[in-house]
DNA sequence: TTCGGCTGTAACTATACTGAGTACACTTGA
DNA sequence: TCAAGTGTACTCAGTATAGTTACAGCCGAA
């Protein structure tokens, strides 16, 4: 599965919440900054909420951070918006078990794929949303 | 964009060619091991050929390795079957330039995304197709 | 207690990509 | 010459995504 733009939108949302602390920002306001539909924002906000990164309450404008941005890594965000069982690499499904290669290729590739995915995730885990937010602020 | 199963099929194909050296293996034979349509194989074989990893000739059965498997990394294979400009991470397209966050978020995220992708690619570059082929053989 | 504003979610649409499959022209070697 | 195989264009079904409409439910201020 691709890494959808939900990921970048989620990072955008968290940055906005962070830099607007104290203000009540609605999904509509966020949507205008991201330039999309408020429902898209609410959907992603829902994922972030389920993952325990933000807190929202129905009927009340303004999401708040559930913990400081410094304690939220890009990997947390990535996992929050990425469908649970979605693997980054996809494998062809039913290789021929009658063939020595077909029978064993999956297991071999699985090791390589897992290693590569781990490397990517480790990199994401090394960056906090606070760094991102500060970086954005420093460019403004 | 997702990492399509073309990648795993391509690795499968190279392993088969390697372990069948000397024999003429047709796209139909490969297809039966991968368990798909011969055209799918020919398509991927075409990409591997364009990338200079294998050599084929129209009308003649049997692809051959253009260079030893030990000199072909998983990253080479990955790049061969991955559409050129396809980025792993996708970014939401037109954030609002009137917003300080919207104006700068892309540049900030781009750095993070690039780093993560580099980490993944470095991991893929560290594994050669020879290792994969040997690993498959050792399981047989 | 009413009411406007907002969230949460379901449902639908348009779009895009993928793997699979058909068809066929072209190449090659026996 | 001709059977076998490759290369490629075209089509199709399945699936994921972003965008959008619609609406029920919650909340707080007047």
Select from A19, A95, A136 the Cβ nearest to the Cβ of B33.
A95
Chain A contact for B85, CB < 8 A?
Answer: no
Please state, in angstroms and rounded to a whole number, the distance separating the CA atoms of residues A110 and A105.
8
Tens digits of residue pLDDT in A66-85: 999 999 999 999 999 987 66
pLDDT given at position B85: 61
What's the gap between Cα B125 and its chain centre? 11
Give me chain A's average pLDDT, please. Answer: 91
Q: What is the C-alpha separation between B132 and A105, in angstroms, rounded? A: 8
Which pLDDT value is given to residue A84?
65
Of B8, B88, B123, the CB nearest to A115: B123
pLDDT band at B138 (very low <50, low <70, confident <90, very high): very high
Q: Does A107 touch chain B (CB under 8 A)?
A: yes
- For each of the domains in chain B, give its residue range(s) and CATH number, in order of start: 6-87+128-139 (1.10.10.10)
Note whether A95 and B33 are within 8 A (CB): yes
Q: Is the CB of A112 under 7 A from strand C?
A: no
Residues of chain A contacting B93 with CB distance shorter than 8 Å: 5, 35
Taking the C-alpha atoms of residue A127 and residue B109, their distance in angstroms, rounded to an integer, is 11
In this complex, the answer to whether residue B39 has its CB under 7 A from any atom of chain D, a nucleic strand, is: yes
Q: Would you call A35 and B102 a contact, using CB atoms and an 8 Å cutoff?
A: yes
CA of B117, C1' of C12: distance in angstroms: 35
* B47-79 tens-digit pLDDT: 999 999 999 987 787 889 999 999 999 999 999
pLDDT digits (tens, 9 = 90+) for A89-115: 888 888 999 999 999 999 999 999 999
pLDDT digits (tens, 9 = 90+) for A26-48: 999 999 999 999 999 999 999 99
**pLDDT above 70 as % of chain A:** 96
Closest-approach nucleotide to residue B62, Cα vs C1': D5
Q: Please tell me the predicted confidence (pLDDT) of residue B1.
A: 47
Whole-number pLDDT of residue B3:
72
- Cβ of residue B11 closer than 8 Å to a chain A Cβ: yes
DSSP A102-139: HHHHHHHHHHHHHHHHHHHHHHHHTSBHHHHHHHHHHH
Confidence of residue A62 (pLDDT cuts 50, 70, 90): confident
């Amino acid at each position: 599965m691709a890494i959808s733009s939900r990921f970048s939108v989620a990072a955008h949302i968290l940055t906005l919440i962070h830099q607007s602390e104290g203000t009540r920002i609605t999904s509509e306001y966020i949507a205008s900054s991201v330039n999309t539909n408020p429902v898209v924002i609410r959907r992603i906000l829902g994922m972030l909420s389920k993952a325990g990164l933000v807190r929202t309450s129905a009927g009340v404008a303004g999401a708040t951070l559930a913990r400081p941005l410094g304690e939220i890594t890009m990997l947390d965000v990535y996992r929050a918006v990425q469908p649970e069982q979605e693997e980054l690499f996809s494998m062809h499904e039913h290789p021929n078990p009658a063939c020595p290669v077909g029978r064993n290729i999956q297991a071999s590739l699985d090791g390589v794929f897992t290693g590569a995915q781990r490397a990517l995730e480790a990199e994401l885990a090394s960056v906090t949303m606070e760094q991102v937010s500060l970086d954005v602020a420093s460019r403004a």
